[in-house]
Amino acid sequence: MITVNESYTCLHEDQIQDQSRKIERLEARADFKEKRLDELNDKIDKMDGKLDTIVDTVNDFILQSSQQDNQLEVRLTKVETDMKNQKEEAQRKTVWIGVALTIITILINVYFHMV
């Protein structure tokens, strides 16, 4: 026959075993979650590295674009200056041709009046 004391001890033993099993399950879940968090942190670190690469690439592109814009601006200024110089040169040639034709006309008139 089981005494009250033995029954009480068995009851406590069952509760202790139940609590131990619950603790083991909780520890197992905690270990799983910790591993999962570590995996997620590793993925986040990789993503940070990729984002840094993308940001560096975008910054390089912006810098190159700015440099190319400056180069284009310099080329455009040079082309505008060349066109202005060519226009002035053409105007000077036109003036010289006009003066030369005037002198030739005068010389022809003088020559034919003398003859």
Give the integer Cα–Cα distance in Å for 69 and 72.
5
Up-side HSE of residue 2: CA atoms within 13 Å toward CB? Answer: 8
Q: Which residue's structure tokens are 């089981």?
A: 2
Query: Could you count the other beta carbons within 10 Å of the beta carbon of residue 28?
Result: 10
Which band of pLDDT confidence, cut at 50, 70 and 90, is reported for residue 8? low
* pLDDT at 113 (0 to 100): 81
Q: Tell me the average pLDDT across 1-29.
A: 75
Give the integer Cα–Cα distance in Å for 11 and 19.
12
Which band of pLDDT confidence, cut at 50, 70 and 90, is reported for residue 3? low
Q: How does the average pLDDT of the chain come out, rounded?
A: 89
Query: Could you count the other beta carbons within 10 Å of the beta carbon of residue 59?
Result: 10
Give the integer Cα–Cα distance in Å for 94 and 86.
12
Which band of pLDDT confidence, cut at 50, 70 and 90, is reported for residue 1? very low
At 81-92, the pLDDT tens digits run 999 999 999 999
Confidence (pTM): 0.51
At 32-79, the pLDDT tens digits run 999 999 999 999 999 999 999 999 999 999 999 999 999 999 999 999
